[in-house]
Structure 1
Amino acid sequence: MSRSGVRVQPECTTAFDELKLGKKFKYIIYGLTNGNTEIEVVKAAPAAGSSEEEAYEDFMAQFPENGCLWAIYDFAFKTAEGAPRNKIVFYAWSPDGAPIKAKMVSASSKESLRKSMSGIAVEVQGTDFDEVSFDTVLEKCMKGR
């Protein structure tokens, strides 16, 4: 349980394991239940079917301008040498336009979700879309290789 008293539903870690080990999902969006008592899976997108750019565009479309969420993305890229790589990226999205209470609950609940997942290579904190853009995340992934 987090400092905010919010609990992570077991389905959150199950979906993460299916992304990480089973390569079943490309990304997972997490949010709070209506009563702000639990973190739940909001959407888990299938891994196959589109280019990396199309998948990332679809992923970004899930980020609300005025709401908070957490997400996991299986980021595929090529190294400077051209070798294919994947890194699991954790996103904490808390835009400037989100209500103060939502930002506070999101911040105080993030660690309990983050700690329930092992194997995350990169963490991205975003308050605007530039901070979570494909190029910005690609740069972070390239640095950590």
Structure 2
Amino acid sequence: MANAASGMAVHDECKLKFLELKTKRTYRSIVFKIEEKQKQVIVEATGDPTQTYEAFTDSLPTDECRYAVFDFDFLTPEGVPKSRIFFIAWSPDTSRVRNKMIYASSKDRFKRELDGIQIELQATDPSEIGLDVIKSRAS
């Protein structure tokens, strides 16, 4: 089950937590981390349903890559409440090259494990995942 390109497996907890976010809305966000020694993607943190988008983006490390999902609620121009599940591949410019390569080579396979992602964002800088970007991509 490991990814041939990077050798990273996906821990079952990743899929279970994502399913809970998607179906039960138990979490607002999930941050995933690659454990190089264990050669697998694990859940690093979850955000409770009241978590703000700003609190979520503040929780991402400034110098290490992560994968994250965020369940974004918004109103359509007609005033209808909707939500979109974002997948964010966070790869800050300040992270190590090896770290970026491992995350880049594992991303597609990991994303396929999370059935129900609606929008994907690739970000190297906080401005690329600002609230304005999220709002414009959601609608």
Match of 1:126 among 113, 120, 123: 123
Correspondence 1:43 to 2:40 = no
Aligned to 2:61: 64
Q: Separation in 2 of the partners of 1:110 and 1:36? A: 17
Where structure 2 has 5 or more consecutive residues not aligned to the other structure, the ranges are none
1:38 Cα deviation after fit: 0.7
1:27 and 2:29 matched:
yes
Q: What residue number does 2:135 align with?
A: 138
Q: 1:25 aligns to what SS in structure 2?
A: coil
Alpha-carbon distance in structure 1 between the residues aligned to 2:33 and 2:81: 31
Equivalent residue in structure 2 for 1:112, among 109, 114, 121? 109
Which residue of the partner structure matches residue 77 of structure 1? Answer: 74
TM-score normalized by structure 1? 0.90
Q: Distance in 1 between matches of 2:59 and 2:105?
A: 22
Q: For residues 98-141 of structure 1, what are the alpha-carbon distances to aligned partners after superposition, in whole Å with 9 as ceiling and x for unaligned? A: 10000000000111210001111100000111110111011011
1:86 paired to 2:61: no
Paired with 2:16 and 2:137, the residues of 1 have a C-alpha distance of: 26
Runs of 4+ in 1 over 4 A off after TM superposition: none
Deviations 1:26-74 (A, max 9, x none): 0000001251611000011121x35xxxx11110111111110000100
What is the alpha-carbon distance in structure 2 between the residues aligned to residue 105 and residue 12 of structure 1?
Answer: 18
State, as a whole percentage, how many aligned pairs show the same letter: 33
| Cα distance in 2 for residues equivalent to 1:23 and 1:66 | 29
- Residue 96 of structure 1 aligns to which amino acid in structure 2? D
What CA distance in whole angstroms lies between the structure 2 residues aligned with 1:119 and 1:32? 21
* Structure 1 gaps, min length 5: none
| 1:80-103 deviation line (CA, Å, top 9, x unaligned) | 111111000000000111100000
Number of equivalenced pairs: 137
What SS does structure 2 have at the residue aligned with 1:118?
A: coil
